[in-house]
Structure 1
Amino acid sequence: MSKSTRVPGYMQSKGARNRGPLGDREIRYKCSMQNTILDVLRARPGWQEVSGEGDWDFHWCDREWLHANYDTMFLQEHQKILHFRNHYELTRKNLMVKNLKRLRKQTEREMGKKEAESFDFYPTTYELPSEYHIFVEEFKKNQGIIWIMKPAAKSQGRGIFLFRKLKDITDWKKGEYQPLTDPNREVPETYVVQRYIEDPYLIGGRKFDIRVYVLVVSYNPLKVWLYRSGFARFSNSRFSLDSIEDAYVHLTNVAVQKTAPDYDPDKGCKWATQQLRSYLTAKHGSDAARRVFQGIDNIIIKSLQSVQKIIINDKHCFEMYGYDVLLDDKLKPWLIEINASPSLTASGKDDYDLKHGVLNDVLNVLDLENRLTGKEKRVGGFDLIWDDGAVTTDDGAMECSVNSVSTTSNSFLGCHCDRKKHLREIYTAAQALKKSTPS
């Protein structure tokens, strides 16, 4: 990456107003994590770590810290902090589906059933215990199919199980009908129950899902960046519906798979998104592969629109989401969940390099150094796909080396990611433009 160019003109953060403009000093940051993001921040030219209650310009905080401190904070003009106040409206599994259902109904009411069909990308889902009776009615209509239970607010595969019979969730449901006055009453944890996708697309007989990185810098107006690279996470065991209790068959979470007896930590269970796109193109053709990734674009935009009017927008906040998407055997993408804190701990060198690049480019998009023009459609590995409306490519700008079909979308998920070369080019162009523009 090119070296930092510090430009005068920023306001100081609280308690530092007599130290000169931000461009005359190092950018101060705080970080709650001890993984790849801390490595990125420490290696970034012109950035200095502060501790305790020290004055800061940038804070990569955890969700718990934000919830405890956001309402009492006063942020200066230039300060940036990870997470919007109520990010959970999209990242808690029950609220995500609730918001998607609401926008789908609104779309059908205002634009008709055909347009509402563009929301058909999440499985039939109910919240338990509140919608238990509605779920039972649906269950009885579809005897013999498999359902999956997930805690609404947990990650890394914790608490998930599959079942075919109602009696399999009896123990979970016990507390629901205990009298409210019972001092020993245990209120069941909120879960979602979803119709399990029984026909996933398999590669080498194994199930996988796709991790996609999405950066939202504003909800009002909605401004969304999509990272070109990601990875497909494979199960360690061949897929089968005969053993629905086997987590190594059905759950692709790395936290689960790495505990498998025959897991190979050197090989891992991941493919780069570029490798997956090349495979799909070779096997099914470029049009089919393009439709897969356009479907993922649709999932991203529709899901963000479902919470656009609910999220507390704050120009100081940003969010880096980890989307998990599954393909069925017809190559239809399904939204599984959205993570507000996708894992930044690397499982190997390739994984570290990917996450190091993603995080560096998050900082490049946020541009605290004021090195960009603000008009860029691409910054490193991030492409701007929505800016209060769909973002289209410049004429002839289709750069995906594995897909020769032209497109008007500015999305290049799974395409070649020459991020370092591109960063050098845009910083050189921005610097030249600023020099030629009268102040």
Structure 2
Amino acid sequence: MDTSKLRKSHSVENEAELQKDSDHDDGILSKMVNSTEKVGELKLKELPLVHQMKKKPENLDSAASHDYWVMGGPLGARNTVLRFRCSALSDPPVHPPAHELHMTYRTIQAETKLLSAVLHSHGMREVHPNIPDFNLLWTGIHPKPHLLKAMTPYQRVNHFPRSYELTRKDRLYKNIEKMQHAKGAKHFDFIPQTFVMPMDFRELCSSHYRHRGPWIVKPVASSRGRGIYIVSSPDQIPLEETVVVAKYIENPLLLDGHKCDLRLYVAVTSYDPLIVYMYEEGLVRFATVKYDSSGKHLWNPCMHLCNYSINKYHSDYIKSEDPDAEDVGHKWTLSALLRHLRAQGTDTSFLMQRIEEVVVKAILASAPPIISACRMFVPHPRNCFELYGFDILIDSDLKPWLLEVNLSPSLGCDSPLDVRVKSAMLVDLLTLVGLPTVDPMLRRANETRRPQSQLDILKKLNNYEV
């Protein structure tokens, strides 16, 4: 199975500078989108994928084994990083480099079963959340500023500061609204008409008078469909708490009468310059109950919402038990959906191009405050990375709409298809991020000793001069 499906999107002025910072990325990634800072004039260019998963050689000597599990140079060298492979989950290496270097990871309030399996199979071990000597920090919440400021060049954390500018529904909408005013609404017309309650209640009522509902109501900081409901009138929305209210898209793309949406995995490895990757494989989630546009069943979440966490409890939900069955049941792969649409005559290349534009523009709209926070709190350019879960709805006219962006998208695996897609995505992400092959205890000791040794040298020089 080809696990190297991350493709690259970036917005930089100097390609040479980007190349200098990302030398080890070239072996596993190809460029997806080349976007300039003129957001309204995005130019897309596809290049071939260059890395293919290779079968592990059966008889590896020590040096060859290291080359198979690391990339960029000899073990322990400055630019050498771990190479992660799906094959390690079923056939872990006997002497993985990460084990020899005592490489470690920390987790904080995160879903870690799959992550831990991948890291342990490559020789890394988990340490207590309070231990400062680690190679990777994986957290389900935003890291505190003091933690970011204390990071060393070899350490990685899976969030940028202020990434909620993209993942909180109210902040996402406000950031896109700013770009609509600055660059023109036609260039950022990929979100439904949206209001933030209670402050926009009067504007919502005015819009409802002109266009009518229905409207979908979402908490600003929830995920997995929690707290979402649909109303036909603003009068049905309580004003005691902050919620986002968006125009409900009444003409979704239907497959066999069922509504569906896409979960796409997007990685950002830098905001300054902006470097974005989108994993080529994704998941397609189906509502369990066939869609009815009459408005009589607005109360039924299993008709209008496609979240797995909601539909899995319905008696008609079908879960595929075959990892190779990509178009069975209520969860498909993105590849299966695109094959289905191509068979119906759809230009899927153009569709994916439009989806990629949505992803890039949403990130560009939210980038300025994140860049400011990185300059303030992040000491080294490669400390932070982020995996986002983009939820996209395609309507009957094949127009993609951005529903929301998820912080820490679920890595839970409730089916063989989940394991196949998410494990392949995760190993590519970790290879892309580049975990330096560094013993964290030795590096920390060297860093703490260095100022003292320099001071000793100065003392000796002063004594000599006296």
Q: Structure 1 length as normaliser, TM-score? A: 0.72
1:393-416: CA deviation from partner (whole Å, max 9, x where unpaired): xxxxxxxxxxxxxxxxxxxxxxxx
Q: RMSD of the TM alignment (CA)?
A: 2.2
Residues 167 and 404 of structure 2 are in contact (CA less than 8 Å); yes or no, is this contact kept in structure 1?
Answer: yes
Residues 246-267 of structure 1 deviation map (CA, whole Å, 9 limit, x = unaligned): 0000000000001112223446
Structure 2 residue aligned with 1:42, among 96, 112, 120? 120
Deviation at 1:51, TM superposition (A): 2.1
CA 1:268–1:344 in 2, change beyond 3 Å: closer, same or farther?
A: farther
Amino acid of the residue matched to residue 300 of structure 1? V
Partner of 1:26: 102
- Correspondence for 2:358 among 279, 299, 306: 299
Distance 1:106 1:355 in 2: 37
Corresponding residue of 1:256: 310
TM alignment of 1:53-132, pairs within 5 A:
53-54=130-131, 55-63=133-141, 66-67=143-144, 70=146, 73-108=149-184, 116-132=185-201
* 1:346-375, Cα deviation, whole Å (9 max, x unpaired): 12011111111111111110122479xxxx
Tell me, yes or no, if the aligned pair for 2:215 and 2:248 is still in contact at 8 Å. Answer: yes
1:245-290 residue CA offsets vs partner (Å, 9 max, x unmatched) = 10000000000001112223446511111111111111124xx211
The separation in 1 between residues aligned to 2:401 and 2:148, in whole angstroms, is 39
Cα distance change, pair 363–61 in 1 and its aligned pair in 2 (3 A): same
How far is the alpha carbon of 1:41 from its aligned partner? Answer: 1.3
Name the CA shift for 1:345/1:24 in 2 (closer, same or farther; >3 Å): closer
Please give the alpha-carbon distance, in whole angstroms, between the structure 1 residues aligned to 2:261 and 2:285: 5
* Separation (CA, whole Å) in 1 of partners of 2:306 and 2:99: 45
Amino acid of the residue matched to residue 434 of structure 2? D
Counterpart residue type for residue 140 of structure 1: Y
Q: Taking structure 1 as reference, are residues 24 and 9 closer, same or farther at Cα in structure 2, changes over 3 Å only?
A: farther
Partner of 2:91: none
The aligned amino acid for 1:82 is N
> How far apart are the structure 2 equivalents of 1:37 and 1:70?
25
Report how far residue 85 of structure 1 moved. Answer: 1.4
Deviation at 1:130, TM superposition (A): 1.2
Q: What is the CA–CA distance in structure 2 between the aligned matches of 1:22 and 1:348, rounded to whole Å?
A: 29
Alignment of 1:151-190 (within 5 A): 151-169=219-237, 172-173=238-239, 188-190=240-242
The Cα shift of 1:8 comes to: 2.0
Q: Which residue of 2 aligns with 1:194?
A: 246
> C-alpha offsets along residues 203-240 of structure 1, whole Å, 9 cap, x if unaligned?
01000001110000000000011101111100011001
CA deviations over 1:101-154 (Å, ceiling 9, x no partner): 10121113xxxxxxx4121111000000111111111111123x3111111111
- Going from structure 1 to structure 2, the CA distance change for 1:51 and 1:195 (only over 3 Å counts) comes to same
SS in 1 for 2:152: coil
Counterpart of 2:281 in structure 1: which amino acid?
S
Change (3 A) 1:353 1:70: farther
Q: Which residue of 1 aligns with 2:278?
A: 226
CA-to-aligned-CA distance 1:18-45 (integer Å, 9 cap, x gap): xxx999713221123332112111112x
Asked if the contact 1:126–1:132 (Cα under 8 Å) also holds between the matched residues in 2, the reply is yes
* 2:284 match: secondary structure: strand
In 2, the alpha carbon distance for the partners of 1:261 and 1:121 equals 34
Contact 1:7 1:369 in 2 (8 A): no
- SS at structure 1 position matched to 2:161: coil
Determine helix, strand or coil for the equivalent of 2:369: coil
1:155 maps to a residue whose letter is: S
- Which fold has the larger relative contact order, with Cα–Cα distance below 8 Å and residues 6 or more apart in sequence? 2
Could you tell me which residue of structure 2 aligns to residue 400 of structure 1? none
**Cα distance in 2 between the residues matched to 1:214 and 1:204:** 28
Do 1:23 and 1:369's aligned partners in 2 also have CA atoms closer than 8 Å?
no
Decide whether aligned partners of structure 1 residues 282 and 273 sit closer, same or farther in structure 2, where only a CA change above 3 A counts: same
Structure 2 counterpart SS, 1:336: strand
Gaps of 5+ in 2: 1-52, 57-67, 80-96, 321-327, 439-466
**Counterparts of 2:152 and 2:197 in 1: how far apart (Å)?**
42
Amino acid in structure 2 at the alignment position of 1:142: H
Q: Partner letter of residue 175 of structure 2?
A: N
Q: 2:343 is matched with which residue: 269, 276, 282?
A: 282
Moved over 6 A (4+): 21-24
Change (3 A) 1:107 1:259: same
Judging changes above 3 Å, is the alpha-carbon distance between structure 1 residues 298 and 52 closer, same or farther for their aligned structure 2 residues?
closer
Distance 2:354 2:437 in 1: 34
- Paired residues of 1:8 and 1:23 also in contact (CA < 8 A): no
Q: Against the structure 1 CA distance between its residues 198 and 233, is the aligned structure 2 distance closer, same or farther, given a 3 Å change threshold?
A: same
Q: Which has the larger radius of gyration?
A: 2
Assess, with a 3 A threshold, how the Cα gap between structure 1 residues 76 and 330 changes in structure 2: closer, same or farther: same
Residue 298 (structure 2) pairs with residue 244 (structure 1) = yes
Q: 1:43 and 1:301, CA in 2 relative to 1: closer, same or farther beyond 3 A? A: same
Return the letter of the residue paired with 1:235: A
Which residue matches 2:8?
A: none
Query: Superposition pairs for residues 327-406 of structure 1, below 5 Å?
Result: 327-369=394-436
Determine the C-alpha separation between the residues in 2 that align with 1:132 and 1:41: 48
Distance 1:4 1:156, change over 3 A: same
Distance 2:358 2:129 in 1: 40
- The C-alpha deviation readout for 1:271-314, integer Å capped at 9, x for no partner, is 111111111111124xx211210111001110111122110234
1:319 maps to 386
| Number of residue pairs aligned between Structure 1 and Structure 2 | 333
